Structure formats: structure tokens, C-alpha cells
Structure 1
């Protein structure tokens, strides 16, 4: 096993393979990117608590000690201003299994192709070009997924959810307080479920989509760019219809907010129009 205690800016290149990445940091920025070659770690800023790095049997662990368990984070969240921020960038193989955690700050993950799990208490999550199974949870702040495929699950308590250029086979987006905005390019037999308590939902799909659509809102309006989806004019409102063969499923629900279903134009060859 190789181990390092990083107390000042430092760059490391690992000799052995990395098949699993586990990160637990307190406050700052974390950037994880898929790249060819050996795994590399770049710590450009270190706070009062050092960054502890371990590499053993294909597992790379990067963490900061907090003196208490990860599950106790909410009890001392108000004291986070006492912890200087860190800035860590990690380059790993695309097929690594990643479990990433940050208490407060910005987390970016890009290019990973297997299973990626992300958890942030307060801050922002950005996911780009991920494949496989992706799950992200943030308590306070937005989460954004760009060009993600496979199985995508996003959840925030208070914050906006943005999904763009997505061809995920399964999409599950949920927020208690915040809007959901989706631009989807989903394959056949896809399953899309969008839920918010307080906030609107805007979803755009290709005009040649094959989806069975069901829309519901308790205190809002529903508008649709597809004549196949019939909507009721006054709240509580609902909308339902079948696009194309209806092989997939689009289900959107909000308690307090409106829902807009938009159509994205394509040409006769199936290419998107500007």
C-alpha cells in the first residue's frame, strides 16, 4: 500500500492500476476526469486539515479527516466556515468505479463510463459525458447533467435540476423545492420520471420520439407542443398521450408549478434542426 499526507500543493502520479475511486472532502472544489495513462492527483490548495491519499489493490482513496463519522455532517455543518477550502483534481481511467463526496463546494465529474455516485451537502454538482449508472444527490444547490447516457438518477432537496443533451435509457430527477429543465434525446424503451414539489418542469424531446406521456400538476398549467398529448385547461391539470410507437415512458409531476412539454424539430434523415 502506498500512502501520502498532503499538507501543501502537490502533484502525484500513481504507478499501479486504479479500478475504484473513493473521495471524501470537506470544503472546496473536486474535479474528477477520465483520462488515458496512469492515475494522477493534483492538489493545488490545502486547508488546515491535510489531504490523505492511499492507493492499495486498485483502490484510490482521497479524504480529509473530520474527527467524526460522515453521517454526522449535518450537526456541524454550521461550522464549515472554519475549514479552509481545498482544490483537488483527479485523472483516472474511464472504467473506474467512483464514489465521490463533498460537504460544501463544487464537484465536477466527466468522462466516467461505469458506476458513479456523487453526494454533496451544499454547493453544486456538474456531470458531463458519463456512462453506465450515475446517481447524484445534493441537499442544497443545483445539479447539472450534460451528455449523460445509461441510467441517470438526480435528486436535490433545494435546488434546480438541469439535464441537457441526454440519451440516458432511464432518467429519474427529483427535487423538493426547485425547477427541473430537461432536453432529452432518449432511445427506444426509455423511462423518464420527473418529480418536484415546488417548482416547474420544462422538458423537450425530439418530435419523432416514441413515448407514452403522462403529466400531472396540482396547482399549475400544462402546455404541450405535441397535439397527441391532450391537456386539461385548469388546475388541477393533467395531460396524456402517445408519441410515435409509445415504446418509452415520460412521466412528469409537480405539486405547485407548471409543466411544459416542447418538441425539438428533426429533418427527414433524423438529424436535429438548429
Structure 2
């Protein structure tokens, strides 16, 4: 039979087995959702304002409400500081539960779920970890981090950085008005990766030998590629990275109106630090050195075919060593002055 609880203070409630879905609505606070085997449990560590209402139906649908998210009078009163309406809670649910979460203000963490996840909010960080079903996040202000999300991932943000780590499997669609987008992909790479940004840099790291078609551009910024198959072109203001790596079975497309675009290559060493973004397989030597005069002369006289093939250049034709020397029609650059 249906069950319900009303909580007005910190408490822990056993919700039983068989929870199949969650609809959570809160005005403000901290929300942690964890997928785990065993009976579902709710733990409230802090609450202020109205009571927290919890309802569970016979079919396994769980509803948790604190404040009226969609009612203008209460929302306006909360925005004007007419009363604190906050709750900090943690929910342990079966990993196959479907989640629908709305938190107006406050951080949300979702980890270890295998079915659909939807998170909506206005302000506050959103973190997804180990989500293997489809995931959708919509927010106005706040950083969004997705780690080891293997299903389809859709993120829409107005202001805030978007970071995807160890992305693999499903399609990725990221949109930000103001904020950087960083994506680190693993095998199997998603079939489609789509990035859109108005103001912010875009950085993508691919596996060492992916099968991917690349088309990235910026209206005002620098474009740099660590893959010789992906060439930089354009003027010093508007630049583009385009090319096909391997068989090109997957697609990476992206556009930012203002900000740098960088394509990185994962090291072939499987034991590398997974979050250490590197341009090539050999860590750069950051020890400052001053070559002897005779060395400079030797470098000036070096023929073009002695320039390393894996040297990274941008569309402006600037070599990484900063001496500005580039071969005519370089392998991965175009100088459009």
C-alpha cells in the first residue's frame, strides 16, 4: 500500500525495496543520490522552512518534495529572502531507478545509476559519476562535471564550465553560453560529439589512435591540434581545425564564437595519469634553457626536413619553441596574415 512521511528535522527513513523511479523537487540545499544494492534509504542532515514530504506508491514511484519549485508566490518569497527553505539530504536507491531531479539552488551529485537521469536547476554545481544510462542536465549558473558517463549525455548551461572526463559510448551534446567546455574521451569513443559555445574555450582530448572526423572552429581565438591529420586553417581571428583520423567512423564537431580551440592526443602509455592533458607522448621539459650562440646558428641553418613531424603548430604558423619559424605550407598550419 502507499506510504508517506513528513520530516521536520534531521532524520533517517527506510524506504524499503522496489523503488523504480524518483521525482525530487527542492528550492535549495544539497542533494546526494547514490545507486546501491539493498533497500532504499533517505537521510536528512539539515532542514529549514517547510516540512519535507515523501511519498511512495505501490508501483515503486518515489516523490520527495521540499518547497514548491514551480509556484511563483513561494519562489518569489524565497528569492527576496523572506525565509530560508533549505534541505540537505542523501538518497540511496537501486541503480536501475529512473531519476527526475529539480533543485533551484544548490549542488547535486548523482552517482552509479544505470537508467535515465534528468537534473534541472538554476544555480549550483552538478556532478554525474558512473552514470551508464542517458543523462540530461540543464542549469543557468554553475559548473557541470560528468565522469565516466557512458550513455547519451546532453548538457545545456547558460553560465558555467562543462567538464566531461572518461567519456565513452553514447553521444555527447554540450551547449554553453558563457563558460569553457573540456572533454576527455576514451575508447570506444562516442559516435557523435557536438559542442556549442558562445564565449569560452573548447578543449578536447582523444585517444591515441581514434577513428574520428573532426570539424572544430572559433570565430575569435587560436586553434591548435596535436594530430597531424587535423589541420589548422583560417586567419588569426577566425580559425578552424578539420581532418579525419583513422577511419573517421565517429564525428566531433564544435563551434565557439570567442575562445581558443584545442585538440589534444592521449599518450599511448596506458599507465599515464588519466587527467594529465598532454600534447604528445613525451612530457615537456619545462626547465628553462638558453642555447649557446653556435646552437642558435645551427638551428637557423637546419633544413626544413629536420623539423620533427609531430611538432604542433596553430593556424597562425607559430611553432611551440616560440621562434616563429615554420615551413611553407606546414603539415598542420596555415599562415594567413
Q: TM-score range by the shorter chain?
A: over 0.9
Q: Which runs of 4+ in 1 moved over 3 A?
A: 70-77, 271-274
Aligned equivalent of 2:62: 60
Structure 2 CA distance for aligned equivalents of residues 2 and 168 of structure 1: 39
> 1:236-273: per-residue Cα shift (whole Å, max 9, x none)?
11121001110000011100111000000124xxx364
Question: 1:246 is matched with which residue?
Answer: 248
CA contact (8 A) 1:148 1:166 kept: yes
Shift of 1:189: 6.0
- Alignment partner, residue 47 of structure 1: 48
Instruction: Report the counterpart of residue 285 of structure 2 in structure 1.
Output: none
Q: 1:193 to 1:143 in 2, by over 3 A?
A: same
Taking a change above 3 Å as real, the CA distance of residues 238 and 95 of structure 1, as seen in their structure-2 partners, is: same
Contact 1:189 / 1:247 at 8 angstroms: preserved in 2?
no
Aligned 8 A contact 1:129 1:147 in 2: yes
Q: 1:246 to 1:76 in 2, by over 3 A?
A: farther
Partner of residue 177, structure 2: 176
Check 1:81–1:135 CA distance in 2 against 1; reply closer, same or farther (3 A cut): farther
Please name the residue that 2:70 is paired with: 69
**Alpha carbons 1:12, 1:40 under 8 Å: kept:** yes
Q: Distance in 2 between matches of 1:214 and 1:74?
A: 43
1:116 alignment counterpart: 117
Contact between 1:222 and 1:258, CA under 8 Å: does it hold in 2? yes
SS at match of 2:227: coil
Aligned partner of 2:259 in structure 1 is 257
User: What is the CA–CA distance in structure 1 between the aligned matches of 2:82 and 2:212, rounded to whole Å?
Assistant: 47
Bigger shift: residues 103-112 or 187-196: 187-196
Structure (1 or 2) with the larger CA radius of gyration: 2
- By how many angstroms is 1:79 displaced? 2.6
TM-score by length of 2: 0.76
Normalised TM-score (structure 1): 0.93
Which range is displaced more, 163-172 or 140-149? 163-172
Paired residues for 1:1-274 under 5 Å: 1-56=2-57, 57-66=59-68, 69=70, 78-79=79-80, 82-187=83-188, 190-232=191-233, 234-267=236-269, 271=270, 273-274=272-273
Q: Secondary structure at the match of 2:106?
A: strand
Cα distance change on mapping 1:49 and 1:74 into 2, 3 Å: closer
Length, aligned pairs only = 270
- CA change 1:73–1:152 in 2 (3 A) is farther
Query: What CA distance in whole angstroms lies between the structure 1 residues aligned with 2:151 and 2:72?
Result: 29
Say which is worse superposed, 49-58 or 10-19, in terms of deviation: 10-19
Q: Does the Cα contact within 8 Å between 1:99 and 1:116 map onto a contact in 2?
A: yes
Residue by residue over 1:93-138, the C-alpha shift from the partner in whole angstroms, topping out at 9 and shown as x without a partner, is 0001100110100100000001000011111101101011000111
More relative contact order in 1 or in 2 (CA 8 Å, sep 6+)? 1
